[in-house]
Amino acid sequence: MSQFSFRLKCPYCRSDSTFQISSIFTPAAQQEDAKYYSVSAICGHYTCYGPVALRTVAIDHDRMWQAANILRYNNIPYAPHTQDISPYFRILEQWPPEPAPDIPDFLSDKVANVFQQAEETRFGKQNLLSAIGYRSALDLATKDVSPLPDSTKIEMLGARLGRLSKEGHLTQSLGEWAEHIGFLGNASTHDGDQLTNSELDELAMLTKMTLIYLFTLPETIKRLRGTPTIGHSDIDPESLAARFKRWIGFKPRLTKLGKSSS
């Protein structure tokens, strides 16, 4: 067991966890010059043990210097409990970063609000509410993409997503993903089944990618080409490229509908 710890919301398991510190490093050769410290630690939750790295600035210079040297020279006295050193430093940067809502651009206010609530409840480990939220966001967003000729006819989300794929509004691969979204969302909405964290993360990303394809990409292309749009604002290509790289870097573990790979 580490001698030192701190409390943090885990970016992996989303628990408010006690992190066990494995190292505290400063390049300074003497205490007077030590201001910034790199801290590495692992989540203490028994289902996780995910690693994080922090760039910190010392608040209590004496205690941070002592803790760094105790770990550096393995001069660790026995203690039944770890010492929480959170008050001794302030976090400047964190890797992986603390999760925050990541909402696709150019959604309607109503859809963006529902999607944000789904994101926030996912980070709060309210998986049932979050899954219902993602499904609701997709349902609201797709109703006006290609309306039925008969406005009085009720169309279920799964049927609508399949129709949008056949009509070319979604690619075949996105259509298959979208069916998966509908299946997972139905499990929560109608059956009350709570998804696991990994299933919910997949549902979140698949919902996000579908919304990006239907709304964010077309509007982005219009604005990059200078096509007048409602509520026009400039696009920063570098910022946009960074966001797309993050979005497409996700690799879903999609096998059969309603099944996740182990």
* pLDDT beyond 70 at 247: no
Highest mean pLDDT among 26-35, 175-184, 189-198: 26-35
pLDDT number for residue 260: 41
pLDDT number for residue 255: 39
Mean pLDDT of 123-148: 88
Q: At which residue do the structure tokens 């398991």 appear?
A: 13
* pLDDT beyond 70 at 237: no
* pLDDT beyond 60 at 1: no
Q: How far is the C-alpha of 161 from the C-alpha of 156, rounded, in Å? A: 9
Q: What SS3 class is residue 7?
A: strand
Of 206, 191, 209, nearest in space to 253 by CA: 206
Mean pLDDT of 132-150: 88
Query: Residues 6 or more apart from 166 whose CB is under 8 A from it?
Result: 175
- Specify the range with the lowest mean pLDDT, choosing from 43-47, 75-79, 219-223, 229-233: 75-79
Q: At which residue do the structure tokens 């690693």 appear?
A: 51
The percentage of the chain sitting over the pLDDT mark of 90, rounded to a whole number, equals: 30
Q: What SS3 class is residue 58?
A: strand
Cite the DSSP H helix spans in the chain.
61-72, 109-123, 127-142, 157-166, 172-189, 197-211, 217-224, 237-248
Q: Count the Cβ atoms, other than its own, within 10 Å of residue 68.
A: 23
Which token pair is 183?
A: 């299946």
Phi, psi of 2 (to 5 degrees): -70, 155
* pLDDT beyond 70 at 39: yes
- Specify the range with the lowest mean pLDDT, choosing from 71-80, 95-104, 143-152, 205-214: 71-80
- Specify the range with the lowest mean pLDDT, choosing from 39-53, 114-128, 146-160: 146-160
Q: Global pTM?
A: 0.69
Domains and their CATH numbers in the chain: 4-95 (no CATH), 109-248 (1.20.120)
- Specify the range with the lowest mean pLDDT, choosing from 52-61, 94-103, 130-139, 152-161: 152-161
Phi, psi of 162 (to 5 degrees): -65, -40
Q: What is the mean pLDDT of the chain?
A: 81
Within 13 A of 25's CA, how many CA atoms are on the CB side? 9
Which token pair is 210?
A: 């579908």
Q: At which residue do the structure tokens 């309306």 appear?
A: 147
Q: Which residue has the higher pLDDT, 92 or 252?
A: 92
Q: Which residue has the higher pLDDT, 137 or 250?
A: 137
Q: How far is the C-alpha of 160 from the C-alpha of 138, rounded, in Å? A: 11
pLDDT tens digit sequence for 69-121: 888 877 655 554 678 999 999 999 999 988 888 898 889 999 999 999 999 99
Q: What SS3 class is residue 190?
A: coil
pLDDT number for residue 106: 87
Q: How far is the C-alpha of 249 from the C-alpha of 28, rounded, in Å? A: 37
pLDDT number for residue 34: 87
pLDDT number for residue 5: 93
Type of residue found at 248:
I
